Amino acid sequence: MGYAPALWLSFGEVLGAVAGALTGLLFVAVSLRSDVLSASLTLSSRAAQTLVLFMTSVLAAVVLVAPQPPAALGWELLALAALSGTVLLVLDRRAGHSSHHGVARFIEKFSPNSITALLVSVAGLTLLLKAGGGLYWLIPAAVASLLGGVVNAWLFLIRVPT
């Protein structure tokens, strides 16, 4: 079942809807705190990382529901993992390391940035190899990106000083 993308259409549809809605939550949080976030390279970079987490799930859902051969899906998941992992790494370096114990420091330590990209790449690779779980790896990838993104968006709403 993990190697038959046609059986995962409903999962892709739900994942896309949930990730899209949560992306909207992030935009609300960022717009409510835009003055503080725009003044801080660290916080704006962490907000961008949160957007990448949500968009990784959105794009995984898009390629999952697209009618295509399993091999194409595997390669697309690998490309998505490489792209999102690279962007997350660049944003992490741009944000730097926070010496404060606030929101930026918490997100820096606990946001599932690299694990999300790694799990998406494992899903793509094992789908291509038809061994090791295949698309089942998208479940923990989605959980990591969505929960991590929700926690980050919540922190931007309630913990960023005005």
Residue 4 phi, psi dihedral angles, 5° rounding: -115, 90
Cβ distance 145 to 113 under 8 Å? no
In tens, the pLDDT along 127-147 reads: 999 999 999 999 999 999 999
Cβ–Cβ < 8 Å for 16, 61: yes
pLDDT in tens, 12-51: 999 999 999 999 988 988 888 888 888 888 888 888 999 9
> What's the confidence (pLDDT) of residue 65?
97
Model confidence at 151, in pLDDT bands (50, 70, 90)? Answer: confident
Q: What is the tens place of the pLDDT at every residue in 65-119? A: 999 999 999 999 999 999 999 999 999 888 877 666 566 666 666 678 889 999 9
- Contact (CB, 8 A) for 56 and 80: yes
Predicted model pTM: 0.89
Question: What size, in residues, is the chain?
Answer: 162
Q: Helical H runs in 2-69?
A: 9-32, 34-39, 41-65
Q: How far is the first Cα of the chain from the last one, in angstroms, to the nearest whole number?
A: 49
